[in-house]
C-alpha cells in the first residue's frame, strides 16, 4: 500500500505547491489525479517517486520512500515513473529502450519480454527502429512499455496518452489498464483526460489549493460533484439558480447540471432561446439563453438560432444537485 502523510512542497522560488497532502492507495488500485494545469499533479508524482524532497512522509508498505536528500540515485526499483518528457535514449532502437532495465543474463527471456511489452503498446513491428525516428505518440508508447518492463509494483504515469491519437488511444489504454489490473500494479495517473479519470480509475482525486479538494469513486464524483469547479473538470456544466427552473422557488440555492441532463421538451415552464448548436458527433450541444444566463444542453439534432426551446429536468435530479 502507498501511504502519504502530510506531504508538503514549495519550489525554490517559494511558491507553495502542496500542503499537508495525505492519502493511501491500495495494491492494484488505480487513482487518477485531476485538476487544472499547475495545481501540482506532476509535482506530487515526482515526490512519490523520490525526485523531490518533502517534509512529509511517503511509505510503500512498511518501507519509507526517501527523497533525493537521502538517495544518491532517486527512485526505487519497484516503482516506475513515466514523465511527460519520456526520457528515452533516442539513438537506440525501440527494443533496446524497452529492455533498458531488463537483465542481459537471460537473452531469450529478455527478448520474449520485450516482445510481450511491445504487444501491449502495439509496437511489435517497430522493435528495431531507431527511437529518434518515431513520432511523439510512438515515443510515448515506448516509454510506457519501458515503465512496465520490470513488473513494477507501482507506476506513476504523467499524462501517459497525451501524444497518442484517438484512433489508437482507446484500444491502447484498455489494454494498458487491463494489464496493470491483471498484474496487481498500483497506478497513480496525472491526467487531463476525462476517460482516464472516469472509465479506468478506482478513485478520482481532485487537486486544488495545494491539497486534495475532492476524492471519491469516479461515479460518485461525477454524479455528486460538490460544486461547479469539480463538475467542470468533466466538461461543460451549468450552474443555475434553482428559481430559474423550479416554479415558486424563493431560495437562493443553486443547482449543477451537465448538458445531457437538460432534456429538450415540447413545453415546460423552463423556456430558453437558442444561441447556437454545435455538432458533437452523436449529439448537438445547444447553447441557449435562460433568463439572461447562458446554458448548455444536449440534443439529438441542431436547433435553429433564435428558436425557443423548453427544458425538463427530473425531480430526483433537482433534489440531488441542489447546492
Ligand X SMILES: Nc1ncnc2c1ncn2[C@@H]1O[C@H](COP(=O)(O)OP(=O)(O)OP(=O)(O)O)[C@@H](O)[C@H]1O
Contacts to ligand X by CB under 6 A:
11, 13, 15, 17, 35, 37-43, 190
6/294 with CB nearer ligand X: 6
Q: Which residues pair with 299 in a beta bridge?
A: 284
38/136 with CB nearer ligand X: 38
Cβ of 54: how many Cβ atoms within 10 Å? 23
**Nearest distance in Å: CB 34, ligand X:** 9
10/92 with CB nearer ligand X: 10
7/39 with CB nearer ligand X: 39
Strands 293-299 and 154-158 turn out to be: unpaired
**Which value, in Å, is the radius of gyration of the alpha carbons in the chain?**
23
**Nearest distance in Å: CB 126, ligand X:** 27
**Nearest distance in Å: CB 204, ligand X:** 15
DSSP letters, 146-182, are HHHTT--SEEEEESTTTTS-HHHHHHHHHHHHHHHHH
**Nearest distance in Å: CB 159, ligand X:** 7
Q: Which three cell numbers stand for residue 314?
A: 427530473
44/309 with CB nearer ligand X: 44
39/205 with CB nearer ligand X: 39
**Nearest distance in Å: CB 116, ligand X:** 30
CA-CA-CA-CA dihedral for 176, 216, 204, 284, to nearest 10: 100
Based on the number of CB atoms within 10 Å of its own CB, is 268 exposed (0-12), middle (13-18) or buried (19 or more)?
A: middle
Cβ of 224: how many Cβ atoms within 10 Å? 14
CB 108 within 8 Å of CB 166: no
**Nearest distance in Å: CB 129, ligand X:** 29
Where residue 281 falls (left for φ over 0; alpha for ψ -120 to 50; beta otherwise) is left
Amino acid at each position: 500500500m502507498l501511504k502519504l502523510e502530510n506531504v508538503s512542497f514549495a519550489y525554490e522560488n517559494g511558491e507553495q505547491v502542496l500542503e499537508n497532502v495525505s492519502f493511501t492507495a491500495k495494491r492494484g488500485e488505480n487513482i487518477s489525479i485531476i485538476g487544472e494545469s499547475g495545481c501540482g499533479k506532476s509535482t506530487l508524482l515526482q515526490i512519490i517517486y523520490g525526485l523531490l524532497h518533502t517534509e512529509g512522509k511517503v511509505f510503500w508498505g512498511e518501507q519509507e520512500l526517501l527523497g533525493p536528500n537521502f538517495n544518491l540515485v532517486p527512485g526505487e526499483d519497484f516503482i516506475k515513473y513515466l514523465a511527460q518528457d519520456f526520457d528515452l535514449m533516442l539513438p537506440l532502437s525501440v527494443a533496446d529502450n524497452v529492455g533498458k532495465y531488463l537483465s542481459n543474463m537471460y537473452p531469450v527471456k529478455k527478448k520474449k519480454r520485450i516482445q510481450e511489452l511491445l504487444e501491449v503498446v502495439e509496437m511489435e513491428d517497430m522493435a528495431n527502429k531507431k527511437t529518434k525516428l518515431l513520432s511523439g505518440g510512438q515515443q510515448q508508447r515506448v516509454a510506457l512499455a519501458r515503465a512496465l518492463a520490470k513488473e513494477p509494483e507501482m507506476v506513476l504515469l504523467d499524462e501517459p496518452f497525451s501524444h497518442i491519437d484517438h484512433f489508437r488511444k482507446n484500444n491502447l489504454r484498455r489494454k494498458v489498464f487491463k494489464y496493470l489490473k491483471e498484474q496487481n500494479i498500483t497506478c497513480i495517473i496525472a491526467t487531463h483526460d476525462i476517460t482516464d479519470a472516469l472509465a479506468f480509475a478506482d478513485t478520482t482525486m481532485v487537486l486544488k489549493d495545494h491539497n486534495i479538494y475532492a476524492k471519491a469513486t469516479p461515479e460518485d464524483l461525477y454524479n455528486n460533484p460538490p460544486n461547479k469547479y469539480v463538475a467542470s473538470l468533466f466538461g461543460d456544466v451549468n450552474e443555475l439558480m434553482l428559481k430559474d427552473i423550479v416554479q415558486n422557488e424563493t431560495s437562493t440555492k443553486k443547482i449543477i447540471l451537465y448538458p445531457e441532463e437538460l432534456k429538450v421538451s415540447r413545453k415546460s415552464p423552463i423556456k430558453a432561446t437558442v444561441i447556437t448548436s454545435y455538432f458533437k458527433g452523436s449529439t448537438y450541444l445547444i447553447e441557449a439563453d435562460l433568463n439572461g444566463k447562458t446554458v448548455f444542453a444536449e440534443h439529438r439534432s441542431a436547433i435553429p438560432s433564435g428558436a425557443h426551446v423548453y427544458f425538463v429536468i427530473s425531480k430526483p435530479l433537482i433534489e440531488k444537485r441542489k447546492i
